[in-house]
Amino acid sequence: MAAGVATWLPFARAAAVGWLPLAQKTMPKPPVDKKSRSDEILFVNVSGLRFQTWKNTLDRYPDTLLGSSEKEFFYNEETQEYFFDRDPEMFRHILNFFRTGKLHYPRHECIQAFEEELAFYGIIPEIIGDCCMEEYRDRKKENQERLAEDTEAENAGDAPLPPGATLRERLWRAFENPHTSTMALVFYYVTGFFIAVSVIANVVETVPCRPIKGSIKDLPCGEKFSVAFFCMDTACVLIFSFEYLMRLYAAPSRCDFARSVMSVIDVVAILPFYIGLVMPENEEVSGAFVTLRVFRVFRIFKFSRHSQGLRILGCTLQSCASELGFLLFSLTMAVIIFATVMFYAEKGTKGTNFTSIPASFWYTIVTMTTLGYGDMVPDSIAGKIFGSICSLSGVLVIALPVPVIVSNFSRIYHQNQRADKMRAQQKVRQARIRMAKKGATNAFLQHKEDGGLQDGDSGSTALCVKNRSAFEHQHHHLLHCLEKTTNHEFTDEVTYSEVCMTDSVGFRTSRSTSLSSQQGATTSCCSRRAKRRAIRLANSTVSVSRGSVQELDTLHITKTPAGTQYPQSRSSLNARTEDLKLNCDDYTAAIISIPTPPANTPDESLPNSPAIPGILRNSRSNTYNIQETVKISSL
Amino acid sequence: MTGCAKRCKQGLVKFVMSLHKLITGTLNKDKIDDDFEMSVVCHRPEGLDKLEAHSNFSKRELQVLYRGFKNECPSGVVNEDTFKQIYSQFFPHGDASTYAHYLFNAFDSTHSGSIKFEDFVMALSILLRGSVREKLQWTFNLYDINKDGYINKEEMTDIVRAIYDMMGKYTYPALKTDTPRQHVDAFFQKMDKNKDGVVTLDEFILSCQEDENIMRSLQLFQNVM
């Protein structure tokens, strides 16, 4: 129900008096209206632009931000107004909606910005008034198409293949995206060359060559050099067949591939040859066979794999199918009408060419398309009048659908251009983002190297401190806390990779020993050092590429009865805690990465991922409660 | 009827004009807004003071009422179609158009075909702030469709049927075809004192005043404003 009608509710309730004498039962009690009835003016400040409106106006739509109590969150006590840090231009439209009950879409605004504003104020875009609904829907569809193109282009297969791709997948990729590997490119160009050769051979073999000795008649080259042409044809067909079979093998869905347009064209291109091989040499059948050779010209359509322009043209024709259909239909209608008229107009003339209505079709078509060959010309006056009307109307009928087709072509062409541009832009953007990220991590590492994390050494740190903003300080502090938590440090890729190579073997043994019965500060220290060298939390990319580091979100600490298990690990854990110097005191949980709980078996060799035995530090108790075993749930 | 004939004449005139234009070939576009302007009538109510004097509302209440009214009907008048549309929105289950028609006639005291703000205010003033007698009189006026001073069974049946239409199809217990008629019979039994088949205003008021339920219910809508 439109909330604007809420103003009429009192009237409707008053009119209910009319039912009272008819009522056979008592009426229910009316609701008690607790809130104050007096209307007041509200001030709404949107980024400096002050709006004023009645409270009732906003109350009309109680399920929006402005109509509900949600706006109290934005109330500013000092200035006695509601402050929103949003676009003031857009707010005008929002407020107009409350005032008039109709939501209008401003044409000059970006549709996404508009939708975001609507979402913020809790208004669903479906209530846009009829006057603006069409424009809104068109723009929205355009926007969605554009976004869909982006994602499509991303998934188009420019992404690198997963390493475990089978031969089939690689082959398919090579066929679909020839620029990914040199072999594919070579194959691409070779097939292109052979298509061209085949088409040229088809054309040239019909050209008349000089006749062989002893004959007067001009022979088409195909018959003169029949062996040569046959060989060329065979070679081409062999290559095309091979290509088709390869594609069929590599296609992820053979059924779909077999039904696609390109595959049909391929088949039609090579079929005449095979049929010709099988066909016997008798005269009547070879007549039909000759017509089959016409289909060889379809090989030229194979070029559409190589040319984007051809594909666009095909796409255009497909999308304009309805316009073309209309053109055809209207032309047919007009042709029939005018042919009939011309026939009857010319019937009386002697020796006329207009022998029948179908014969007049040719005249009508030639006239309507303004070709005017002149092989059929009306003689009578009536014929000439109708002929002129025919040619005038022809111009109209043909000119009408053409702009639609042209505009469709232009739209699809620009879409393609845009897709390419967008892809290029995306690459640049990603590169920039990556650089920014690296810059941030480098800043932290630099900070560490400058000794900024040392406590109490204010003299040396003063210089470094000066160049950093408050934000950077806090961020670095946070990263530092994380380091202390996990007992590992950030480093860069280079260090990590070189350390990984050298220490992988030695690391494992040292770690298992640390988890076994060895205790004492030295071993734990060594192990920690080794761990620090070997296990790094470098970029997230590095850790991901290493494989299965699991991030755990929650930790459960369960109390177990004292002294039950794992005395060895107890000591090692103990030792480790003491060695930890944690600066950040008040945190209760830590995010740790661990593949298996370290306390299970002492000798368990951990999986090949660099495990980081995590320690949960309870801020409340300085002494680590031994009885607690850390059960880690991996989500 | 007059409206229909007028529209027909207008249409014919337009057709002849367009034919003329076709032959003479003028490039002027049709004046579409001519038509539109004629149907927009702007009406201003009489002053706030006068309305306050004539009705039982305070100035503030009149202001609130007028703002709501003007917002919904910027032209200042409500015609029957708009009225039906608005009223139907409160009763989405059934068909409220018949009852809205009767209501419209009751509101439109001057029978001008449209409700102005004064009519609106006067009716609301009676219904919300009027005396019991005034309310009952207004209700009688509503039931008396042909405004002859008597309510007969047919009029009452129409009204009751219109009210039941508003209920819609899905009711519990299910509506039977003779339910309105039974209702009307019960009503007449109560109201028609001299059993002459019609109910006059005095009979109506008297019977209502005797009925406890009705008296109590009349106080229901006092705090609507």
Decide if A5 and B143 are in contact by the 8 Å CB cutoff.
Answer: no
Does residue A118 sit within a domain?
yes
Say whether both A152 and A233 belong to one domain.
no
Three-point CA angle A155, A160, A164, nearest 5°: 110
Decide if B159 and A23 are in contact by the 8 Å CB cutoff.
Answer: no
Residue A156 has pLDDT above 70, yes or no: no
Region B149-154: what's the mean pLDDT?
88
Does residue A568 sit within a domain?
no
Distance CA B158, CA B180 (A): 9
DSSP conformation class of A517: T
Q: What is the pLDDT of residue A474?
A: 66
Out of B86, B106, B186, whose CB is closest to A8? B86
Residues of A in contact with B106 (CB under 8 A): 18
Out of A9, A20, A54, whose CB is closest to B214? A20
Say whether both A301 and A334 belong to one domain.
no
- Exposed, middle or buried by CB within 10 Å (0-12, 13-18, 19+), for A465? middle
pLDDT digit string (tens) for A73-109? 788 888 889 888 889 998 999 999 998 888 898 888 8
Q: Residues of chain B whose C-beta is under 8 A from some C-beta in A?
A: 60, 64, 67-69, 71-72, 86-87, 89-90, 92, 103, 106, 120, 123-124, 127-128, 135-136, 138-139, 142-143, 159-160, 163, 183, 186-187, 191, 204, 208, 211, 213-214, 216-218, 220-221, 223-225
CA-nearest residue to B71 within chain A is A100
Residue A464, H or E segment: helix A458-466
Work out the pLDDT band at B23, boundaries 50, 70, 90. Answer: low
Distance CA B116, CA B109 (A): 10
| pTM exceeds 0.90 for this model | no
Say whether both A286 and A325 belong to one domain.
no
DSSP conformation class of B172: S
Residue A202 has pLDDT above 50, yes or no: yes
Q: A110 is in which domain, residue-wise?
A: 41-156
With tokens 């559409």, the residue in question is A304
Say whether both A302 and A325 belong to one domain.
no
Q: Give the range with max mean pLDDT: A118-132, A518-532, A582-596, B36-50.
A: A118-132
Expressed in percent and rounded to 5, the helix, strand and coil fractions of chain A are 65, 5, 30
CATH code at position A334: 1.10.287.70
Amino acid (1-letter code) at residue A294: V
Does residue A297 sit within a domain?
yes
Does residue A271 sit within a domain?
yes
Q: Which residues have C-beta within 8 Å of that of residue A370, sequence separation ≥ 6?
A: A391, A394, A395
pLDDT digit string (tens) for A38-70? 678 999 999 999 999 988 888 888 888 888 877
Residue A463 has pLDDT above 80, yes or no: no
Does residue A90 sit within a domain?
yes
Distance CA A152, CA A305 (A): 19
Say whether both A181 and A235 belong to one domain.
yes
Say whether both A366 and A318 belong to one domain.
yes
Pick the range with the lowest mean pLDDT from A11-15, A613-617, B41-45: A613-617
Percent of chain B with pLDDT over 70: 87
pLDDT digit string (tens) for A293-350? 777 788 888 888 878 788 888 888 887 788 788 778 888 998 999 999 999 999 988 8
Residues A128, A136 contacting (CB under 8 angstroms): yes
Residues B165, B95 contacting (CB under 8 angstroms): yes
Residues A326, A336 contacting (CB under 8 angstroms): no
- DSSP E strands: which ranges in A341-422? none
Partners of residue B152 on adjacent β-strands: B198
Does residue A447 sit within a domain?
no
CATH code at position A45: 3.30.710.10
Residue A555, H or E segment: strand A554-559
Preceding amide of B173 cis, omega within 30:
yes
Distance CA B51, CA B42 (A): 19
Residues A484, A584 contacting (CB under 8 angstroms): yes
Out of B68, B139, B224, whose CB is closest to A18? B139
Residues A614, A594 contacting (CB under 8 angstroms): yes
Residue of higher predicted confidence among A480 and A241: A241
Residue A251, H or E segment: none
With tokens 């005017």, the residue in question is A372
Say whether both A151 and A45 belong to one domain.
yes
Q: What is the pLDDT of residue B77?
A: 84
Q: Tokens at residue A322, please?
A: 């309805």
Decide if B90 and A1 are in contact by the 8 Å CB cutoff.
Answer: yes
Region A395-421: what's the mean pLDDT?
82
Say whether both A72 and A138 belong to one domain.
yes
Residue of higher predicted confidence among B180 and B175: B180
Partners of residue A49 on adjacent β-strands: A46
Q: Which residues have C-beta within 8 Å of that of residue B109, sequence separation ≥ 6?
A: B119, B122, B123
Work out the pLDDT band at A461, boundaries 50, 70, 90. Answer: very low
Out of A17, A23, A38, whose CB is closest to B221? A17
Distance CA A476, CA A464 (A): 13
Q: What is the pLDDT of residue A318?
A: 81
Residues of B in contact with A25 (CB under 8 A): 213
Decide if A18 and B103 are in contact by the 8 Å CB cutoff.
Answer: yes
Does residue A189 sit within a domain?
yes
With tokens 């158009």, the residue in question is B97
Residue A233 has pLDDT above 60, yes or no: yes
Q: What is the C-alpha end-to-end distance of chain B, expressed in Å?
A: 39
Residue A626, H or E segment: none
Residues B107, B37 contacting (CB under 8 angstroms): no
Pick the range with the lowest mean pLDDT from A323-327, A414-418, A459-463, A607-611: A607-611
Q: What is the pLDDT of residue A469?
A: 64
Residue A245 has pLDDT above 60, yes or no: yes
Cβ–Cβ contact A20 with B under 8 A: yes
Pick the range with the lowest mean pLDDT from A25-34, A403-412, B187-196: A25-34
Partners of residue A44 on adjacent β-strands: A51, A82
Say whether both A48 and A115 belong to one domain.
yes
Q: What is the pLDDT of residue A493?
A: 63
Q: Which residues have C-beta within 8 Å of that of residue B127, sequence separation ≥ 6?
A: A14, A15, A17, B135, B138, B221
Say whether both A284 and A326 belong to one domain.
no
Q: Which residue, among A365, A283, A380, A291, has the nearest Cα to A328 in the 3D structure?
A: A365
The two beta strands, B150-152 and B114-116, are unpaired
Residues of A in contact with B163 (CB under 8 A): 19, 22
CATH code at position A247: 1.20.120.350
Residues A312, A416 contacting (CB under 8 angstroms): yes
Say whether both A143 and A226 belong to one domain.
no
Q: Give the range with max mean pLDDT: A5-9, A129-133, A592-596.
A: A129-133
Across chain A, mean pLDDT equals 72
Q: What is the pLDDT of residue A384?
A: 94
Residues of A in contact with B183 (CB under 8 A): 22, 24
Q: Which residues have C-beta within 8 Å of that of residue A500, sequence separation ≥ 6?
A: A534, A610
Q: What angle, rounded to 10 degrees, do the helices at A321-346 and A401-449 form? A: 170
**Least Cα separation, residue A86 to chain B (angstroms):** 27
**Least Cα separation, residue A589 to chain B (angstroms):** 56
Q: Which of A429, A464, A482 is the last residue of a domain?
A: A429
Longest dimension (CA), chain A: 125
Reduce the DSSP state of residue A295 to 3 states and report it: helix
Cα radius of gyration rounded to whole Å, chain A: 41
Q: Which of A391, A409, A429 is the last residue of a domain?
A: A429
Q: Which of A156, A191, A212 is the last residue of a domain?
A: A156
Cβ–Cβ contact A37 with B under 8 A: yes
Residue A566 has pLDDT above 80, yes or no: no
pLDDT digit string (tens) for B71-94? 777 777 888 888 888 888 778 777
Say whether both A338 and A412 belong to one domain.
yes
Residue B159 has pLDDT above 80, yes or no: yes
Q: Give the total number of structural domains in chain A.
A: 3
Q: What is the pLDDT of residue A150?
A: 67
Does residue A333 sit within a domain?
yes
Residue A238 has pLDDT above 60, yes or no: yes
- Phi/psi for B63 (5° steps) reads -60, -45
